[in-house]
Structure 1
Amino acid sequence: MAPRAYWKGSLKLSLVTCPIALYPASTQAEKTHFHQINTKTGHRLKQQMVDEETGRVVDKEHKARGYELSKGRYVQIEEDELDAVKIESTHTIEIDDFVPSEDIDERYLDKPYYIVPNGKAGADAFVVIRDAMKRKEKVALARVVLSNREHVIALKPFGKGLLGTTLRYPYELRDEDDYFDDIPSPRVSKDMVDLAAHILDTNASKFDPSKFKDKYETALKALVKRKAAGKTIEVPEAEEQESNVIDLMDALKQSLGRKKSKMKPARRKRAGSRGRGRKAA
């Protein structure tokens, strides 16, 4: 059963409009989640808001939003005052312009959504917009209001539908210079770079997310299963960290040698199987 649409509205390109529905393309539902419980009763705990100065529990009617102007000094903002800055939800994703996909800095990519036509009435217009974007190999930049905030959203053809990805605003990104300025610039030999590049070539493959294995999630599920069955959980001893003092060229050569040693048994196995086949015939 398909999940309920997160947002419904219209997609508009100039004078062409079609009804659409937007669905989150990712989910956290399959991840293992824990609740806080009382170790004495086994009952689930609930959180309470506590005044950090008095230590007393604050009831619901005395809770409000406050913006910290300076340390310990707040300006209180009422809910109806927040309504004054709410962005009017037009329920329309209006395309502003089109850009090459490679022009979008990956740091700006936020949350992905699947966009589909909402009903058969606007399917023709949806397909026209999708196929025109596919032909021109362009990504559409538009605006959409989600949870009372306006977001820039990038739209691109994806299978039979569209993939919409909300984008971060520039103020949400940290300046890379704050982190990269202190990176040293040592002189490394061309031989080292060539060897490293060769290692990259030997490990080249196609992007295949089916190979992604969440080892922690798998181990977590196994731990919960063992604990629920009444088995004892033994914590392994921490392994000693290897020394970081290495000879870079030697490490590169060993890395290449390790790759070759992994490949050789597979070739021998195939040759052996062919030989056995001929003998059996």
Structure 2
Amino acid sequence: MAPRANWKGFLRLSLVTCPVALYPATSESEKISFNQLNRQTGHRIKYLKVDADTGDEVPNEDIVKGYMLDKDTFIEVTKEELEEVALESTRTIEIDEFVDKADIDPRYLIRPYYLRPDGKVGHDAFAVIRETIREMDKIAIGRVVLTNREHIIALEPLDKGLVGTLLRYPYEVRSEAEYFDEIQNVKVTKEMLDLAKHIVNQKAGRFDPEKFEDHYETALIDLINKKRAGKPITATEKPAAGNVVDLMEALRRSVGGGAAESKASKKPAKKPRKASPGQKEMLMPIAGKKPKEAAAKKPAARSQRKSA
């Protein structure tokens, strides 16, 4: 069953309209996360909303939004006032135009969502919009309101549904000039370029996300499992960084090393461990879930809290 929709409304192309639901296409929930604890007691740290001047805790009903003009001056804005400026497009994704995918600067991309028909009606209209976008080989640009903010959304077909990617506004994208102006104009010789191209050809492949493993996440799981088992934690030796003195020599050596890598790559590579929806439960057993390897062991009690 699909997760709960972030947004429900209508997708409209001119006079063609259908009810749709928007779902997040990505998730961070499977990553290891930490709580902040009191080192002395092991208890979780609780955050309170307090008045910056008096130090008194403030109940939620007394908290309003404020825009800061300067250090000590704020303009208060109430919930009712924000609702008054709510946008008309809160319930509809209106397709405004169609563009080529190459026209969208990657810097404007924020996050992807899945878009599908909501309920049993509207599937015909949804299919018409989806297949029109597919046949025209275009990206549909529309607007959607999420959390009271209007966003630009780029829609493209994916299998039987649509992927909608939120886009940034121009004022949110920084100019590259302030970062690139000080880069020196260096003339790259043909020999250097040829060597570099040779390296690229040796490493050419097809992008496959399954080939990549989150090594930091794996290391975190290993660290936590070792601490739970009471095993000693030893620091891993960091590789020493080498200084490149002669760029041409480094390119030549890279080409030589690439040949060896190319021969080794012909052997079937060992696939990294694929994360499942229950990765944490599988690798780090918790109370109530007892995989084979951990069925006989129970998590340590709070009073036996281990420290690094």
TM over 0.5: yes
Contact 1:48–1:57 at 8 Å: present in 2 too? Answer: no
Report the aligned-residue RMSD. Answer: 2.1
Q: In the aligned structure 2, how far is the partner of 1:200 from the partner of 1:266?
A: 15
Q: In the aligned structure 1, how far is the partner of 2:141 from the partner of 2:48?
A: 42
> After the TM superposition, which of the residue ranges 165-174 and 73-82 deviates more from structure 2?
73-82
Provide Cα deviations, 1:112-133, integer angstroms capped at 9, x if missing partner. 0011112332111111111111
| Residue 105 (structure 1) aligns with | 105
TM-score normalized by the length of structure 2: 0.80
| Residue 76 (structure 2) aligns with | 76
TM-score normalized by the length of structure 1: 0.88
Q: In the aligned structure 1, how far is the partner of 2:89 from the partner of 2:42?
A: 44
Provide Cα deviations, 1:224-277, integer angstroms capped at 9, x if missing partner. 11111222222235554333x42111111111111101234577x89xxxxxxx
Query: Structure 1 13/266 Cα, relative in aligned 2: closer, same or farther at 3 Å?
Result: closer
Q: Does 2:184 match 1:184?
A: yes
Q: In the aligned structure 2, how far is the partner of 1:119 from the partner of 1:73?
A: 49
Q: In the aligned structure 2, how far is the partner of 1:240 from the partner of 1:53?
A: 50
For structure 2, which runs of at least 5 residues remain unmatched after alignment? 269-308
For structure 1, which runs of at least 5 residues remain unmatched after alignment? 271-281
Deviation at 1:191, TM superposition (A): 0.9
Deviation at 1:68, TM superposition (A): 2.0
| Residue 221 (structure 2) aligns with | 221
> Aligned runs of 1:1-281 on 2, under 5 Å?
1-53=1-53, 56-60=55-59, 62-236=62-236, 238-243=238-243, 245-264=244-263
Query: Structure 1 15/77 Cα, relative in aligned 2: closer, same or farther at 3 Å?
Result: closer
Contact 2:50–2:58 at 8 Å: present in 1 too? Answer: no
Could you tell me which amino acid in structure 2 is paired with residue 227 of structure 1?
K
Deviation at 1:63, TM superposition (A): 3.5
Q: In the aligned structure 2, how far is the partner of 1:211 from the partner of 1:265?
A: 16
What is the SS of the residue equivalent to 2:140?
strand
Q: In the aligned structure 1, how far is the partner of 2:203 from the partner of 2:72?
A: 55
> After the TM superposition, which of the residue ranges 23-32 and 42-51 deviates more from structure 2?
42-51
Contact 2:202–2:262 at 8 Å: present in 1 too? Answer: no
Q: In the aligned structure 1, how far is the partner of 2:245 from the partner of 2:240?
A: 16
Deviation at 1:33, TM superposition (A): 0.7
Q: In the aligned structure 2, how far is the partner of 1:23 from the partner of 1:176?
A: 33
Could you tell me which amino acid in structure 2 is paired with residue 195 of structure 1?
L
Higher Rg of the two aligned structures: 1
Deviation at 1:53, TM superposition (A): 4.8
Deviation at 1:149, TM superposition (A): 0.9
